[in-house]
Each structure stands twice: as C-alpha cells, then as structure tokens.
Amino acid sequence: MQVDELLKLMVEKGASDLHLMVSSPPVLRTDGMLIPLEDLTSLSDKDTESAFEQVSNQEQRTAFAKVRELDFPYSTPGLARFRVNAFQQRGTISLVFHTVASKAPSIDELGLPQICKQLILKPRGLVLVTGAAGSGKSTTLAAMINHLNETERRNVITVEDPIEFLFRNNKCLIRQRDLGDDTKSFSSALMQALRQDPDVIVIGEMRDLPTISTAMRAAETGHLVVGTLHSNDAAQSIDRIIDMFPHGQQQQIRLQLSQVLEAVLSQALLTRIGGGRIAAFEIMLGTSIIRRQIRDEKLHEILSNIEQGKPEGMQSLDQALADLVRRNVITEEEALRKSSHPERLQQYLQSEA
C-alpha cells in the first residue's frame, strides 16, 4: 500500500482527514462525515506498519516504540502538508492524517468575526481561542497571525504541536518552534520566548500549569499572548485555568486573569447546507463587567452578560447558531446538535420567527 497515493486521493476529494486502521478499509472525513473507501480492501497489521514506516524517520519510530503514540508533520512535494498522529490500539498501529493548508487563510476568507482583526492587534494581554478537538482552532489562529503579518511590524514567536501553517515574514518577524523537533515542552519554550524580544507569543495548546502560569506572566509584562484551550465556552475556559492552580492561589489567579484577559473566542464547527463547513463563535470580551465577574467568582453570570453585550461585539454561541439558521447557512437540527443550551437556542429561533 502506497500512502502517498491515498493522500493524493484524500486531497482530490477535499477530505480533511484520512484514517488507517487494521480490519477496516481507509476512511476519509469529508464535510464532517466519515466515508469508507469501500472499493479498497481492509487493512492488515502489516499494511498499517508499512504506512507508518513510509511517512516516519528512524528517530520518530524510536520515539513511537517507547510511548506508543506520536504526533508529527509529513509533506508530499507538489501535493500538500499533513499532520500525522500514530497510535497503538489493540496491539496494532493506527494512523490519522490531517490536511494542512499550504497557505494560511485570511480572516475574511474563513468568514471569521471581524473582532479577530482587532484582537490580534492588541498591544498586550491574553486572548484565548477555545473549542473541541477538530473545531478549527489552529486555522483561526493562523488567520489571525496572517492578518497581523500583513498589518503591523511585530516579533512573533509560536510554539506548536506540530507546526501546521508555515508563515513567510511580511511585516512581522515570525519564528515557529515545533514541539519535539525544536523544543521539549510548551512551558520551557514559553520561558525562553520571554528572552527573545517578543511582541506576540502564540501557544498551540495551554495544556498544563507551568505553561498557563508563564503565559499569564508574559501577558502581565506587556506581551500579547494568544493560545488555545480545549473547552466549550468562555466561562468553562476561565474555570479551567483557575482550577489548574492550587486552591490557595486561586483568588490571586482570578485577580490576575481579570486584569490580563482580553477575549475568549469559543468555536464550534458545523456542516453547511449544501456541503462544506462553517465555524460559529461565542465571543467574550474583557469588559469592566466581565473582569469584575471573574474577580468576584461569579462565572455563572458571564453568559447573560455575553448575550447582552452585542453593542460591544459580544455574542453567545446560541446567538451565533440562531443567526446561521436564520440565514439558511445551517439547519436547525445541526444548530441544536452543537448547542450546549438547546432550550435557549429554541427561544432565540422562536423570538426571531
């Protein structure tokens, strides 16, 4: 089995992902749907082992043998770049290939909220892009960095796992560090970034206490820090950061976070009517009311203030979903499937009927 041939087919069909596992034919994900390539035979353990050997080097194979899972980039000249995740399941190797665009998209091309252009130009503070795995957080980050690169002269340091979009210096000086190849951890790379004269620090994933702690310190000391979290909405994102710290430090962290947090963009990826995908966003901005609610431990009040904050540029996810339904971009069923508060969404849809 030649992996490059499957990747070529994947690109031709516009699929976002290719899954290779034993006892199944190759499976593509297109517009969010898993589609088995049923004209191909089911893969054996030797097939998936061969596929892994075709796309990895000896150092990567050695690392995989130790931990039984690995994330790494792979490129096919003239075709595309891919993010590869290899992992062991039931004693056999499985692989997932994710297509990475060769050129970072623009905010307008993706139809992202215009507030993204303002947030990436902030001189300092913390901006979070959150959502479930596969919701498009990395693409949103790339579009924001692309806008910055076309607009301002800034020194940008990124720490990614792995690097997805490659940037050429335009107005910005952009250095991209890959977790594993260029640095051993997010936290150590972030600590070193503070000594590299940065204006903007981009963190592919704020996954542990040392990383979050250093990110907040960087935002406090006059840098713009942009990072991602796996969380579903703004209140949950704030809660998750605070809960990372020991109980005795949490009140101090609430105070710090209330001072540095500029925005939380929480996104969900949905299937368009007629095919394709679109992201819906909850937008929370660091207004004086939101900062006070973070500081005073009143996160349960944040959602209602987001809903009332449209004049400032805020919106809840349900408001965004309702708007997409009204504009016939997505179906009501698709909106309800992604909503964390279906009753609230129904109220929005009925009130605007």
For residue range 147-180, list pLDDT tens digits in order: 999 999 999 999 998 788 889 999 999 999 988 7
What are the extents of the domains in the chain?
Answer: 3-100, 107-315
- Contacts of residue 310, defined as CB under 8 A and 6 or more positions apart, other chains included, come to 319
For the chain, how big is the Rg over CA atoms in Å? 21
Domain spanning 3-100, CATH architecture: 2-Layer Sandwich (3.30)
For residue range 61-74, list pLDDT tens digits in order: 999 999 999 988 89
Residue 327 pairs in a beta bridge with none
| Dihedral (CA of 31, 120, 226, 267) sign | negative
Q: CA dist 238 to 40, 59, 349, Å?
A: 46, 38, 28
On whether the CB atoms of residues 257 and 157 are closer than 8 A, the answer is no
Please give the order of strands across the beta sheet that includes 277-285: 173-178, 155-160, 200-203, 224-229, 125-130, 261-271, 277-285
Query: CA 17: distance to chain centroid?
Result: 16
Higher pLDDT, 290 or 32: 290
- Distance, in Å, from the CA atom of 350 to the CA atom of 237, rounded to the nearest integer, reads 29
Higher pLDDT, 133 or 118: 118
On whether the CB atoms of residues 18 and 26 are closer than 8 A, the answer is yes
Select from 260, 157, 161, 284 the least CA-distant residue to 212.
Answer: 260
Mean pLDDT of 181-209: 93
Query: CA 226: distance to chain centroid?
Result: 11
On whether the CB atoms of residues 258 and 267 are closer than 8 A, the answer is no
On whether the CB atoms of residues 257 and 294 are closer than 8 A, the answer is yes
Q: For the whole model, what pTM was predicted?
A: 0.86
Domain 107-315 has CATH 3.40.50.300: yes
pLDDT of residue 100: 85
